[in-house]
Amino acid sequence: MLGLIGLGHMGTPMAERLVAAGHRVVGFDASPAGREDAAARGIEVLADAGQVGRAAQVVILMLPNSDIVESVAAQLAAIPAAERAVSIVVDMSSSEPERTRALAARLAEDGIELVDAPVSGGVVGAVGGTLTIMVGGSVSQFDDLAGILDALGSRVVRAGDVGAGHAVKALNNLMSAAHLLVSDEAAIAATRFGVDPEVFLAIVNTSSGRSGSTELKLPRYVVPGTFDSGFSAALLEKDVRIATALGRGLGLDMSLSDAVRERWEQLNAELPAGADHTEIIRPLERRAGVEVRDQSRADSSSAASSGSVPVTPTEQ
């Protein structure tokens, strides 16, 4: 049996995919709304994290940060050995790599293995089973979990030993934030110059400047004005901080990355709490006096520009 703790925008569709693949899944979420939604979708929801650890041999965590991961892990480790079913915890959250290594050592003292397996691909990837999953663990652990992780992602890669998955995830999201910021600035400049945003993106996306931001985020969430990717600006800011701290901890010059972090923090401070990460363009648009939008939707988008689309924290 599998357990999944963290039944949010990512965790619930992941649980659904595991059920569809033939696994029996039990879950828990601290939010009553999360529990209700998961139960309505056919997921067996238990009373607390401890009950999940008593029922499932493998427990997946999809949680907002290392503090919450460590708290839940402590609850699992506190289950008396005679009552405990869980033997492997798979942390698919975006956690801090060094804290993941330390947590693995603590859990090992209680006879529980920890593997990190964060994801990229967002809610769309969670629903479609097309996530990229970066795994930190031994070769044998990677092989043992293949049947589970293959149900969730189309690309499952062993990054290295425990903590390596979280390191790669944080660095990936640092790069993603940098791509998005510079793509937003370029799109605003093009729009201000009089180039239609859709024409600009069509050209860039067959040229050397293309990225995930120009190919997906701007055309799907920014130009239509939906801003509903399902991944918050605050969570991306957290990942950028993890990545820059990791680099500095390794004695590296992270000057450009720190500039991205500082810029993201500055712009995110101007957004309402819970704003989608694709809304990071809004403060830039206000300063430029232009909006990067589909002209057919410009009027409705402009009317909504003073607000924000709140999202429940999830994983990019």
- The per-residue pLDDT for range 52-97, each reduced to its tens digit, is 999 999 999 999 999 999 999 999 999 999 999 999 999 999 999 9
The superfamily CATH assigns to domain 167-304 is: N-(1-d-carboxylethyl)-l-norvaline Dehydrogenase; domain 2 (1.10.1040.10)
The pair of three-digit structure tokens given for residue 233, joined into one six-digit string: 């600006």
Q: Where does the pLDDT of residue 295 fall: very low under 50, low under 70, confident under 90, or very high at 90 and above?
A: low
Catalytic residue numbers read 169
SS (H, E, C) 42-79: CCEECCCHHHHHHHCCEEEECCCCHHHHHHHHHHHHCC
Q: Render pLDDT for 26-60 as a digit per residue (tens, 0 to 9).
A: 999 999 999 999 999 999 999 999 999 999 999 99
- Spatial distance between the Cα atoms of 153 and 131, rounded to a whole number of angstroms: 4
The one-letter code for the residue type at 82 is: A
Burial of residue 65 (CB within 10 Å: 0-12, 13-18, 19+) is: middle
Tokens for 161? 């030993």
pTM of the model: 0.89
Task: For residue range 86-143, list pLDDT tens digits in order.
Answer: 999 999 999 999 999 999 999 999 999 999 999 999 999 999 999 999 999 999 999 9
3-class secondary structure, 162: coil
2-161: which CATH number, 3.50.50.60, 3.90.25.10, 3.40.50.720, 1.10.1380.10? 3.40.50.720
The DSSP secondary-structure symbol of 217 reads I
- What residue ranges do the domains of the chain occupy? 2-161, 167-304
